Amino acid sequence: MAPTNICCIGAGYVGGPTCSVIALKGGDQVKVTVVDINQKRIAAWNSDELPIYEPGLDEVVQQCRGKNLFFSTDVAGAIKAADLIFVSVNTPTKLYGLGKGSAADVKYIESCARAIAEHSEGPKIVIEKSTVPARTAETLDRILRANCKPGITFEILSNPEFLAEGTAISDLMSPDRVLIGGSTTPEGQKAIQALSAVYEHWVPKDRIITTNTWSSELSKLAANAFLAQRISSINAMSAICEATEADVSEVARAIGKDSRLGAKFLQASVGFGGSCFQKDILNLVYLADSLNLHEVADYWRQVVILNDWQERRFSTRIIKALFNTVSSKKICILGFAFKKNTGDTRESAAIYVCQHLMDEGAQLAIYDPKVKAEQIDLDLKSVSQGQEDRVDRLVTVHSDPYEAMDGAHAVAVLTEWDEFKTYDFAKVYATMPKPAFLFDGRNILDHAALRQMGFEIEAIGKKIH
């Protein structure tokens, strides 16, 4: 039997890893081509230095690339050849016009639909892999039907991705569930079966959930909203803890033992980042507002407001502790990625903490094991409009953490990288002006031991004596 020919439009954090695992697990039953308009990104996927860092990804790509996994810029050719087309392009928050600041920008989805209609010469199953506003499948359907060649049919499915960056490969290898939404027509059900068969190469059937298209689209937004809400909830508690001498880790442990709540996602921090949580909640807020469900919109909006406040609260705490002035003081930032085990900085809390510290004239020495200096420069310039030159004056990016910490007035941990726990902080302490401050934005360090060394410790949701 000929292998199922799969095309994925969008070679990003979702398209690349997802299709690599589909190729690995599908073996000779599938041929997967991942296409992108970004030539540099495709060249990197075809090189020894992949464009994204994910534990385990290199090994998967090495096993399949050139056999049943291909990366290409030939979008038209891949569409023509495919039976199944994943649309895995970015859907960022709109920065202009109607819905600016909250609606998802679906222009890349629309351009994919137009390309699929233009280049298809036979029937296709088109799969929304991107996170999209509810009822986007309807838009896709209308564009495809209005532009396709006569006699060509399309079935549209929703198959949102639930992987988390940093654990993408293990999430994809053994997902909690795979969700497929489609139409209830016989053709729709047949398309669902075809996509399900791709996952059944490695995912047990009882983990493949099928729903109607709209439930599937909304479930992705709902899942991210619930996850982010949990972080904002524990972060709200962290502020109360700091004021009352309760300890947020103890509170998290106590409530996490309740089986109705569970222990995961109760880690207080400087705030959530990443390309999805804020974007998807704002997307939900926009949807609720446009349905005149303003109380619902307000409820979810508060999750983002709390997160922004938590980031600001952390940087304010640094400034206040350093005697209300950080001007010209060296502050070491440990970690710039939005979480550990990824090089992704999109919406990272570090960007906003650094922005606030730059506003106050601090000299920032930044170290992250996986984020490149150019990316940090780009991110900090993007929040310094009109005064980009301050980044050149105030920021140094280091490749050695000890150099970054050397002689700093304060060290701030902004990403929970495991290696930070192994540093020789006694050696660092000796180089720092006193009092030497350590701000743990992730609660990962041994605060008692550091205090013994002489550090002044400030941690999220804790009063440390």
Ligand X SMILES: NC(=O)c1ccc[n+]([C@@H]2O[C@H](COP(=O)([O-])OP(=O)(O)OC[C@H]3O[C@@H](n4cnc5c(N)ncnc54)[C@H](O)[C@@H]3O)[C@@H](O)[C@H]2O)c1
Indicate the annotated binding residues for NAD(+).
Answer: 10-15, 36, 41, 89-93, 130-131, 165, 276-279, 346
- Site size toward ligand X (CB under 6 A) is 27
Rg for the chain (alpha carbons), in Å?
A: 24
Phi, psi of 367 (to 5 degrees): -135, 130
Q: Strand 208-212 relative to strand 330-334: parallel, antiparallel, unpaired? A: unpaired
395-398 β-sheet, strand order: 395-398, 363-367, 330-334, 410-413, 437-440, 456-459
Catalytic residue among 64, 276, 332, 354: 276
- Binding of ligand X by 348 (CB under 6 A): no
- Binding of ligand X by 371 (CB under 6 A): no
Stretch that binds ligand X, among 30-38, 206-214, 332-340, 400-408 (CB under 6 A): 30-38
Nearer to ligand X, 315 or 342 (CB): 342
Could you tell me if 11 and 71 are in contact, meaning their C-beta atoms sit under 8 angstroms apart?
yes
Dihedral sign, CA of 60, 65, 68, 73? positive
Nearer to ligand X, 52 or 376 (CB): 52
- Nearest-angstrom CA–CA distance, 127 and 131: 11
Please tell me whether residue 246 adopts helix, strand or coil conformation: coil
Nearer to ligand X, 125 or 179 (CB): 179
- Binding of ligand X by 17 (CB under 6 A): no
Annotated binding residues, written as ranges, equal: 10-15, 36, 41, 89-93, 130-131, 165, 276-279, 346
Least separation in angstroms between residue 13's CB and ligand X is 4
Dihedral sign, CA of 180, 113, 134, 212? negative
Burial of 54 (0-12, 13-18, 19+ CB in 10 A): buried
Nearer to ligand X, 10 or 99 (CB): 10
Least separation in angstroms between residue 402's CB and ligand X is 32
Nearer to ligand X, 4 or 90 (CB): 90
Binding letters toward ligand X, positions 212-251, x by CB under 6 A: ----------------------------------------
Q: Which of 6, 7, 14, 137 binds ligand X (CB under 6 A)?
A: 14
Residue 45 is encoded by which pair of tokens?
Answer: 């996927």
In this structure, how many other beta carbons lie within 10 angstroms of the beta carbon of residue 459? 26
Stretch that binds ligand X, among 31-39, 413-421, 427-435, 439-447 (CB under 6 A): 31-39
Straight-line distance from the first to the last Cα atom of the chain, in angstroms, rounded to the nearest whole number = 69
Nearer to ligand X, 113 or 459 (CB): 113
The DSSP symbol for 267 reads -
Among positions 303-322, residues that touch ligand X (CB under 6 A) are none
Least separation in angstroms between residue 76's CB and ligand X is 10
Stretch that binds ligand X, among 22-30, 160-168, 250-258, 427-435 (CB under 6 A): 160-168
Stretch that binds ligand X, among 4-12, 173-181, 317-325, 326-334 (CB under 6 A): 4-12
208-212 β-sheet, strand order: 69-72, 30-35, 4-9, 84-87, 124-128, 154-158, 178-182, 208-212
Q: Which of 275, 307, 315, 415 binds ligand X (CB under 6 A)?
A: 275
Among positions 73-132, residues that touch ligand X (CB under 6 A) are 75, 88-91, 108, 111-112, 130-131
Tell me the residue nearest to ligand X as measured from the CB.
12
- Binding of ligand X by 54 (CB under 6 A): no
Max Cα–Cα distance, the chain, nearest Å = 77
Least separation in angstroms between residue 97's CB and ligand X is 19
Q: For residue 241, indicate whether it is catalytic.
A: no
- Binding of ligand X by 33 (CB under 6 A): no
- Binding of ligand X by 287 (CB under 6 A): no
Q: Cis before residue 435, ω within 30 degrees of 0? A: yes
- Nearest-angstrom CA–CA distance, 132 and 393: 40
Nearer to ligand X, 15 or 271 (CB): 15
Q: Which of 7, 9, 140, 248 binds ligand X (CB under 6 A)?
A: 9
Spatial CA neighbour of 6 closest among 14, 17, 26: 26
- Binding of ligand X by 20 (CB under 6 A): no
- Binding of ligand X by 182 (CB under 6 A): no
Q: Which of 105, 161, 347, 360 binds ligand X (CB under 6 A)?
A: 161
Dihedral sign, CA of 7, 12, 15, 16? positive
Contacts of 307 (CB under 8 A, 6+ apart): 228, 231, 232, 235, 271, 272, 277, 278
| List of residues contacting ligand X (CB under 6 A) | 9-15, 35-38, 41, 75, 88-91, 108, 111-112, 130-131, 161, 163, 165, 275-276
Residues noted as catalytic: 276
